[in-house]
């Protein structure tokens, strides 16, 4: 009862209601909200503090920036979204807010596109060496078998492609990555696609910013070959999995393409099935399926494990 009253009290102010309506459409920084709302930074920060204290918003630190989005607490998810639905969508003030929000999103998308174009050639050099990405994505979808009651985490999310694929088939999804540039691309793509049930956070694969047993599905897609300690990444993925949850690791089978190490900073030239199985077993996971998707010259392997 007290939590509901606190939430209603926090919403019972025009600016805070505007903030909630905006954050329902994606992550926003303080400076972006200041621009959209046309209010001072201290005033906007005070409103954000109250909304966070009421459990309606959460703060996501990304380097020197702090983004805000709707709370991801599963216990509050349904009631929070019912409150959001009560906010009138045809209000003149809110319509103007959305126009300025569109400007912010356009600027973000332009910056993300610029970074992507500068780095696209590097990714294409690797992509032509293995099976088509769509084949890998179809296998991922098949082995995870997502449903609308599940929460998903993509570790090392990069441009957020896994979130895009699963967004319409899960309750909510999160992507974690260390690169602010990659997160900017992911955020722009999620907003453009209307994937409002998904978000991204800056974080390390060895220490993701979530509590234990938070997710039903976790993926580590083409990330382990960069890891100095891949076993630690598996342990961390297992930590945030709920009982009965699935971990899906997608990476290369052993290969001899040294250029990936010398030119693309790959620490490992693929993984043997026995090594991945051992890492899974060591942290309480049972390997349930292995799929090998041959390419020329690289084979992509998909390893799936469940948590007891």
CA 170 – CA 12 distance, rounded (Å): 31
According to DSSP, the β-strands at 215-221 and 28-29 are: unpaired
In a domain, 118, yes or no: no
220, burial (CB in 10 Å: exposed 0-12, middle 13-18, buried 19+): buried
- pLDDT at res. 120: 53
Residues 227 and 285 in one domain: yes
Domain span at 277: 129-307
Q: Could you tell me if residue 293 is left (phi over 0), alpha (psi between -120 and 50 degrees) or otherwise beta? A: beta
pLDDT < 50 stretches in the chain: none
Residues 183 and 269 in one domain: yes
In a domain, 164, yes or no: yes
Q: The domain spanning residue 218 has which CATH number? A: 3.40.50.150
Task: Please write the tens of the pLDDT for every residue from 11-66.
Answer: 788 899 899 999 888 888 899 999 999 999 999 999 999 999 888 888 877 566 78
- pLDDT at res. 112: 56
In a domain, 230, yes or no: yes
Split into its structural domains, the chain has a count of 2
Q: Is the peptide bond before 43 cis (omega within 30 degrees of 0)?
A: no
Residues 286 and 214 in one domain: yes
Residues 137 and 96 in one domain: no
Residues 281 and 236 in one domain: yes
- pLDDT at res. 122: 65
Residues 157 and 91 in one domain: no
Q: Are 236 and 195 in contact (CB under 8 A)?
A: no
- pLDDT at res. 260: 83
In a domain, 107, yes or no: no
In a domain, 185, yes or no: yes
Nearest to 19, CA basis, from 70, 60, 63: 70
- pLDDT at res. 149: 93
Residues 56 and 163 in one domain: no
In a domain, 89, yes or no: yes
Start-to-end CA distance of the chain, whole Å, equals: 35
- pLDDT at res. 126: 65
- pLDDT at res. 277: 93
Task: Please write the tens of the pLDDT for every residue from 142-158.
Answer: 988 899 999 999 999 98
pLDDT-above-90 percentage for the chain: 44
Laid out side by side, the sheet with 57-62 consists of: 28-29, 65-70, 57-62
């Amino acid at each position: 009862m007290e939590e509901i009253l606190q939430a209603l009290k926090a919403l019972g102010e025009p600016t805070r209601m505007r903030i909630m309506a905006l954050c329902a459409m994606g992550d926003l920084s303080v400076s972006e909200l200041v621009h959209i709302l046309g209010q001072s930074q201290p005033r906007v920060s005070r409103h954000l503090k109250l909304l966070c204290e009421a459990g309606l918003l959460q703060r996501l630190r990304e380097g020197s920036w702090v983004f805000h989005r709707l709370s991801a607490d599963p216990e509050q998810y349904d009631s929070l979204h019912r409150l959001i639905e009560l906010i009138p969508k045809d209000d003149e003030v809110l319509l103007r807010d959305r126009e300025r929000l569109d400007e912010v999103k356009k600027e973000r998308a332009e910056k993300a596109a610029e970074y992507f174009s500068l780095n696209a050639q590097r990714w294409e050099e690797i992509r032509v060496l293995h099976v088509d990405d769509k084949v890998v994505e179809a296998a991922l979808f098949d082995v995870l078998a997502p449903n609308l009651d599940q929460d998903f985490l993509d570790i090392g999310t990069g441009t957020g492609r896994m979130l895009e694929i699963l967004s319409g088939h899960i309750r909510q999804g999160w992507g974690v990555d260390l690169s602010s540039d990659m997160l900017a691309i992911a955020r722009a793509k999620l907003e453009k696609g209307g994937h409002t049930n998904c978000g991204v956070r800056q974080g390390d694969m060895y220490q993701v910013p979530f509590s234990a047993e938070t997710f039903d599905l976790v993926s580590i897609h083409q990330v382990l070959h960069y890891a100095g300690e891949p076993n630690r990444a598996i342990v961390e993925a297992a930590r945030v999995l709920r009982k009965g949850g699935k971990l899906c690791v997608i990476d290369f089978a052993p290969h001899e393409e040294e250029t990936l190490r010398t030119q693309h900073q790959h620490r490992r030239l693929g993984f043997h099935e026995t090594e991945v199985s051992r890492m899974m077993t060591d942290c309480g996971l049972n390997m349930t399926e292995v799929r090998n998707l041959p390419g020329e010259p690289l084979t992509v392997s998909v390893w799936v494990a469940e948590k007891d």
